[in-house]
Structure 1
Amino acid sequence: MHVRVVAVAVASVLGTAALLNPISDARARDVGEPTVIAHRGASAYAPENTLASIDKAARLGFSWVENDVQRTRDGKLVVIHDDSLRRTTNVEKLFPGRAPWKVKDFTAAEIARLDAGSWYSPAYAGTRVPTLKQYMRRVEHNHEKLLLEIKNPELYPGIEQQTLKLLGHEGWLDRGHLKRLIVQSFSVGSIRTVHELKPAVTTALLGSPTAAQLRRDAPFTDLVNPSYGSLTKKYVAAAHALRGAHGRPLRVFAWTVNDAVTARKVAGCGVDGIITNKPDVVRAALGSY
């Protein structure tokens, strides 16, 4: 009888704790440090979204990298963040009469001529804007994992299907590779489309949707990835309390964290991943947390 009373009491305490801490069940699956994701590659140390940047991440010992995908005038997928080529290439010099230098207004051959490294450092002069095919092959060569963002999908109708088709051709939709791939976007419609086309793909919604929006979107997404500035423990707990597209608690990756103090603060909110331009700084901060 005494044993039974104690067991009931313990169960009652644990049940109360679970109610007070809704994150507990969700976090039980992964109580280690947050995953560190190199944002646009190790972009504090090499020009963003280039092969050099993901090579640098690999040399620093990081397996997860993030990139951005857009489409050229002739329908090729390229890896670049801005919808304009101006900030990260010498497009103004090579094509002075083509303002505002939008990615969608240039062919893949024209973009291949651009220098995407000199803006960052003379040491990277001649670095090119990679096609998605080139990028995926380097990720595979480096044995890395990829958080792929479909950028500005409203500018590129059908880009979700095209991206998935290329990923399939490169072998990234088999069971082994699917464990190394997450497709994300700020567009709810884009993520829904990816899920409908390839339900096995892990998807992530960028931004900070409300709790009601999270409940609405959970059936077709697996993660919610907010800016660290909007993050709270309560928000992370609310996300973890929901089941995503594949029946697991929603995970949370926060961006873009580049200093030790912020990294420790964000980790304290219970996030599952931290996206950063300085993965080594974040790793060191988490190691001492």
Structure 2
Amino acid sequence: MYVRAAAATTAALLGAGALVLPSTAAARTPADAAVATGKPAAAHKTPTVVAHRGASAYAPENTLAAIDKAARMGFRWVENDVQRTKDGELVIVHDDNLKRTTNVEEVFPDRAPWKVKDFTAAEIAELDAGSWFGEKYKGARVPTLTQYMNRVSRNHQSLVLEIKKPELYPGIEQDTLRVLRKTGWLDRNHVKNKLVIQSFGADSVKKVHELRPDVKTGFLGTPAVADLPAYAKFADQINSTHTSISADYVAAIHALKGPHGKRLEIFTWTVDEAAAAQRVAGFGVNGIITNKPDVVRGAIRG
């Protein structure tokens, strides 16, 4: 996930003006006091630690190796990014082009700008998605969503699944749910305990909620406090970058109920330093998404 301006999304969704980030200068709250002591607010459990694109500080992002690494480190929750190939296969990759994390320029030198949507699943399966990270991971592949879900199941892990750039892939919500159903991830246990689907696209989150109202959803962004009730109609989580939130903002989220009648949650990202982890834990966030899950775990337990 990258930081993005959310004003356009809110305007389209609500007909409102630009987003206003929450103030950090408001009166002190119990969560503010917790920040000063470095301890989580008493009213909240220790945040769930989510390995961002797998344990991506230690293995190539969005590969099976990265989620296996997270599993070996003892992390149950992982996060990934889903896009669609030219022939309709869903694959796990963050960028909308393949340049940064594969050898696509070497294998297909005449196919610039190497967009995911311009390659078939078979062509993408030829690419090395590990060597850029280190020789140890040479030959790692871009997994399909089916391969990825099967590995997450084998590892007994849970998943925050991001639908990446849905505007490029009309109908990707239905496609994603279809794969989740085929791999056994839309039964009651998985839906209740092991799955969140999120996106920067409000319309995409709304679509998932319409298609499967039982599935837990998250909107990626930091809407203005006044706009939160509108998002709470279709999103169970407001998942904001950690630099954009305050204790008061987290409290405003928790004051609302999501579409399932439960308290609205926040998973914040991407937190890789101990001090930042302690800070947001003090705010009372529900989850912390991180490339370095061991660092975050040590910080919030300490």
Tell me the TM-score normalised to structure 2 length.
0.86
Tell me if 1:269 matches 2:283: yes
Shift of 1:213: 2.2
- Structure 1 residues 160 and 217 mapped into 2: Cα distance closer, same or farther (>3 Å)? same
For 2:177, the equivalent position in structure 1 comes to 164
Give the one of 86, 93, 98 matched to 2:111.
98
For 2:141, the equivalent position in structure 1 comes to 128
Q: Count the aligned residue pairs.
A: 266
For 2:7, the equivalent position in structure 1 comes to none
* Distance in 2 between residues matched to 1:271 and 1:287, nearest whole Å: 14
Where 1:118 maps in the other structure, the secondary structure is: coil
Where 1:32 maps in the other structure, the secondary structure is: coil
For 1:8, the equivalent position in structure 2 comes to none
- Judge conservation of contact 1:22–1:241 (CA < 8 Å) in 2: no
Shift of 1:270: 1.1
Post-superposition Cα deviations, 1:221-246, rounded to whole Å, max 9, x if no partner, equal 10000000101011100100111010
* Distance in 1 between residues matched to 2:293 and 2:233, nearest whole Å: 31
Tell me if 1:258 matches 2:258: no
Post-superposition Cα deviations, 1:132-171, rounded to whole Å, max 9, x if no partner, equal 0000000000000000000000000000011001101111
Tell me if 1:50 matches 2:60: no
Post-superposition Cα deviations, 1:14-73, rounded to whole Å, max 9, x if no partner, equal xxxxxx9698xxx99973210000000000000000000000000000000000000000
- Judge conservation of contact 1:77–1:163 (CA < 8 Å) in 2: yes
For 2:85, the equivalent position in structure 1 comes to 72
Tell me if 1:173 matches 2:186: yes
For 2:3, the equivalent position in structure 1 comes to none
- Judge conservation of contact 1:70–1:78 (CA < 8 Å) in 2: yes
**Structure 1 or 2: more helix by fraction:** 1
Tell me if 1:229 matches 2:243: yes
Shift of 1:103: 0.1
For 2:227, the equivalent position in structure 1 comes to 213
- Judge conservation of contact 1:64–1:145 (CA < 8 Å) in 2: yes
For 2:9, the equivalent position in structure 1 comes to none
For 1:287, the equivalent position in structure 2 comes to 301
Identity within the alignment, %:
63
Where 1:70 maps in the other structure, the secondary structure is: strand
Where 2:106 maps in the other structure, the secondary structure is: helix
- Judge conservation of contact 2:200–2:219 (CA < 8 Å) in 1: yes
* Distance in 2 between residues matched to 1:258 and 1:144, nearest whole Å: 21
Within a 5 Å distance, the mapping from 1:13-24 to structure 2 comes to none
* Distance in 1 between residues matched to 2:42 and 2:210, nearest whole Å: 27
Greater RCO between the two (CA within 8 Å, min separation 6)? 2
* Distance in 1 between residues matched to 2:172 and 2:125, nearest whole Å: 20
Tell me the TM-score normalised to structure 1 length.
0.90
Shift of 1:214: 1.3
Root-mean-square deviation (Å) = 1.6
Post-superposition Cα deviations, 1:70-119, rounded to whole Å, max 9, x if no partner, equal 00000000000000000000000000011110000000000000000000
For 2:72, the equivalent position in structure 1 comes to 59
Moved over 4 A (4+): 20-23, 27-30
For 2:23, the equivalent position in structure 1 comes to none
Post-superposition Cα deviations, 1:191-244, rounded to whole Å, max 9, x if no partner, equal 000000000000000010112221111111100000001010111001001110
Q: Which runs of 5+ in 2 are unaligned?
A: 1-27, 32-39
- Judge conservation of contact 1:22–1:237 (CA < 8 Å) in 2: no
* Distance in 2 between residues matched to 1:81 and 1:34, nearest whole Å: 24
Tell me if 1:138 matches 2:143: no
Shift of 1:247: 0.4
* Distance in 2 between residues matched to 1:96 and 1:21, nearest whole Å: 57
Q: Whose Rg is larger?
A: 1
For 1:245, the equivalent position in structure 2 comes to 259
For 2:120, the equivalent position in structure 1 comes to 107
